[in-house]
């Protein structure tokens, strides 16, 4: 083998080795690129899954925190999902169980079944009498999952829906507010109509049969004065209540000494107490009790409470006002020794125009708005009004408010 041939063979082998090396390198780079692409796809898929999991968790948290009870049921009325408000409403979790285990109202079950069968939404209003009477507006919507043989597309609205979403909106407060409004208009009309009718009748009598009867004129004018005063008190209380309600959400800022306020009220009612042979005592444990408040409104509160105690307490009895400090609060109680209030009336005492004994209240000059005014003023002062009473043992009205912070 001559030298030239040997050199050519070496060069050829080297070239072949170089080509082979380059080919291997290119294959490695392609494999590496493919590996990187796969890694990118995996990272992207993982990010998508993480995002989906996060969205699912957020959706679950949102459903659980909805204030309205919510239920998802399948075609057999088995609960697939319920939220915390739903479980709280019936005091149990019925997920995975028949919907009727929590709700036994036939009209509700029939409405859900109808929605599932027809695929058309429905709304009904139901009242649940226990444990506390509540009214709900219930919306039932069909849920249409993917239809078989339809490429995974949702069912159309007319297709049968195998599931339903049930949402319950508590409308108790709305209905009560509407009823209160209607009752308020009716009560105001009645309270004003009665004295107005009396005034009209007496005016007609004075202009007619009693035109020249001086004795009758004097008697009728006295009654007319009482009726006019009654209308004036009613209108004054209505205006006062309206003004207080407008200010209820603004916290008063003045420093008020309750000892001084109560003493002024007692002084102003001294003659009334003497006329009934009653005494009013104040025990504040020798402390100056101060709160953050509106002095005029707090005067109105204790004017109402002490005046009521004098009206409804037994003659020759005592009205006792006691005050204590406990932690960050001041508590004032007004106790009388009257006939007391039957227990069934206690929850409604602060309703407008509500009277335990309507005839006696009118006879004593009451408008039926005093305790409603007290309640709204106490609310404005971030306080609480409680009433305890037993028939034959008098009544105690207690007000608790935050004390003044220096």
Averaged pLDDT, 199-219:
86
d(CA 349, CA 346): 5
- CA–CA separation, 314 vs 282, rounded Å? 18
State the average pLDDT over residues 22-45.
Answer: 60
Q: Give the pLDDT confidence score for residue 353 in this predicted structure.
A: 78
- Of the candidate ranges 176-190, 209-223, 293-307, the one whose mean pLDDT is the lowest: 176-190
The pair of three-digit structure tokens given for residue 65, joined into one six-digit string: 């925190």
* pLDDT band at residue 39 under the 50/70/90 scheme: low
E strand map for 64-180: 70-74, 79-82, 122-128, 134-143, 163-170
Nearest to 171 by CA among 133, 226, 130: 133
Between 41 and 87, residue with greater pLDDT: 87
Residue 123, token pair as written in the block = 């709304």
pLDDT digits (tens, 9 = 90+) for 67-95: 788 899 998 899 988 888 888 888 888 88
Dihedral Cα 379, 85, 66, 96, nearest 10 deg: 180
What percent of the chain shows pLDDT beyond 90? 23
Average pLDDT over residues 150-160: 44
Residues whose CB falls within 8 Å of the CB of residue 156, separated by 6 or more in sequence, listed in order: 144
pLDDT of residue 239: 83
Rounded Cα distance between 125 and 366, Å, is: 39
Alpha-carbon gap, residue 145 to 159, rounded angstroms: 10
pLDDT-derived band at 159 (thresholds 50, 70, 90) equals: very low
Q: What is the pLDDT of residue 213?
A: 83
Higher pLDDT, 10 or 333: 333
CA distances 115 to 109, 137, 149, 165, Å, are 10, 16, 23, 10
d(CA 148, CA 34): 37
Section 259-284 average pLDDT: 91
**Residue 156 confidence class, pLDDT cut points 50, 70, 90:** very low
Residue range 153-176: mean pLDDT, rounded: 70
CATH architecture entry for 250-406: 2-Layer Sandwich (3.30)
**pLDDT tens-place string over residues 275-304:** 999 999 998 877 888 999 899 999 999 999
Q: What per-residue confidence (pLDDT) applies to 305?
A: 93
Asked whether 292 and 257 are in contact (CB, 8 A), the reply is: no
Q: How confident is the model at residue 332 (pLDDT cuts 50, 70, 90)?
A: very high
How would you class 395 by CB atoms within 10 Å of its CB: exposed for 0-12, middle for 13-18, buried for 19 or more? buried
Which sequence spans correspond to the domains of the chain? 70-147+154-170, 172-247, 250-406
Query: pLDDT band at residue 13, thresholds of 50, 70 and 90?
Result: low
Asked if residue 164 has pLDDT above 60, the reply is yes
Helix (H) or strand (E) holding 63: helix 3-65
Which DSSP string do the residues of 172-231 spell out, in sequence order?
A: HHHHHHHHHHHHHHHHHHHHHHHHHHHHHHHHHHHHTTTTT-HHHHHHHHHHHHHHHHHH
Q: pLDDT of 360-371, one tens digit each? A: 656 655 677 888
Fold for 172-247, please state it: Helix Hairpins (1.10.287)
pLDDT for the residue 229: 85
pLDDT of residue 151: 44
**What is the architecture of the domain spanning 70-147+154-170?**
2-Layer Sandwich (3.30)
Sole residue written with tokens 């220096």: 406
Distance CA 132, CA 125 (A): 16
Q: Of 13-17, 93-97, 374-378, which range is least confident? A: 13-17
Cα distances from 137 to residues 73, 123, 166, in angstroms, run 18, 7, 11
Task: Count CB-CB contacts under 10 A for residue 207.
Answer: 9
Per-residue confidence band for 235, with pLDDT thresholds at 50, 70 and 90: confident
Between these two residues, 143 and 126, which has the higher pLDDT value?
126
The confidence score (pLDDT) of residue 147 equals: 46
Per-residue pLDDT at 4 exceeds 90: no
At residue 240, the pLDDT reads: 82
Query: CA 16, CA 53: separation in Å to the nearest integer?
Result: 54
pLDDT higher than 80, residue 224: yes
Give the pLDDT of residue 153: 41
406 has a pLDDT exceeding 50: yes
How far is the C-alpha of 318 from the C-alpha of 192, rounded, in Å? 34
């Amino acid at each position: 083998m001559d030298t030239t041939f040997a050199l050519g063979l070496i060069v050829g082998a080297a070239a072949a080795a170089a080509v082979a090396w380059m080919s291997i390198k290119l294959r490695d780079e392609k494999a590496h690129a493919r590996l990187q692409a796969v890694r990118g796809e995996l990272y992207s898929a993982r990010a998508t899954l993480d995002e989906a999991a996060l969205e699912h968790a957020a959706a679950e948290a949102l459903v659980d925190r909805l204030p309205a009870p919510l239920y998802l049921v399948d075609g057999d009325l088995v609960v697939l999902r319920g939220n915390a408000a739903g479980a709280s409403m019936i005091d149990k979790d019925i997920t995975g169980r028949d919907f009727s285990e929590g709700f036994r109202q036939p009209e509700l079950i029939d409405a859900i079944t109808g929605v599932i069968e027809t695929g058309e939404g429905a709304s009904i209003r139901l009242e649940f009498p226990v444990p506390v009477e509540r009214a709900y507006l219930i919306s039932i919507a069909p849920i249409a999952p993917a239809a078989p043989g339809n490429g995974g597309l949702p069912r159309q609205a007319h297709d049968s829906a195998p599931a339903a979403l049930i949402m319950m909106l508590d409308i108790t407060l709305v209905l009560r507010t509407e009823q209160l409004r209607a009752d308020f208009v009716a009560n105001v009309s009645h309270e004003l109509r009665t004295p107005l009718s009396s005034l009209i009748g007496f005016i007609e009598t004075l202009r007619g049969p009693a035109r020249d009867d001086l004795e009758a004129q004097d008697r009728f004018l006295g009654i007319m004065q009482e009726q006019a005063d009654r209308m004036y008190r009613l209108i004054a209380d209505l205006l006062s209540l309206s003004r207080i309600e407008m200010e209820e959400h603004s916290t008063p800022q003045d420093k008020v000494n309750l000892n001084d306020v109560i003493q002024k009220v007692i002084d102003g009612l001294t003659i009334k107490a003497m006329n009934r042979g009653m005494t009013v005592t104040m025990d504040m444990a020798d402390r100056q009790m101060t709160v953050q408040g509106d002095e005029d409104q707090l005067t109105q509160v204790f004017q109402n409470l002490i005046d009521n105690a004098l009206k409804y307490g037994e003659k020759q009895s005592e009205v006792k006002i006691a005050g204590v400090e406990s932690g960050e609060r001041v508590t004032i109680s007004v106790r009388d020794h009257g006939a007391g209030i039957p227990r069934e009336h206690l929850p409604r005492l602060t309703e407008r125009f509500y009277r335990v004994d309507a005839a006696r209240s009118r006879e004593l000059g009451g408008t039926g708005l005093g305790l409603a005014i007290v309640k709204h003023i106490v609310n404005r002062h971030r306080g609480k009004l409680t009433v305890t009473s037993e028939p034959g043992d008098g009544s105690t009205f207690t007000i608790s408010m935050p004390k003044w912070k220096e």
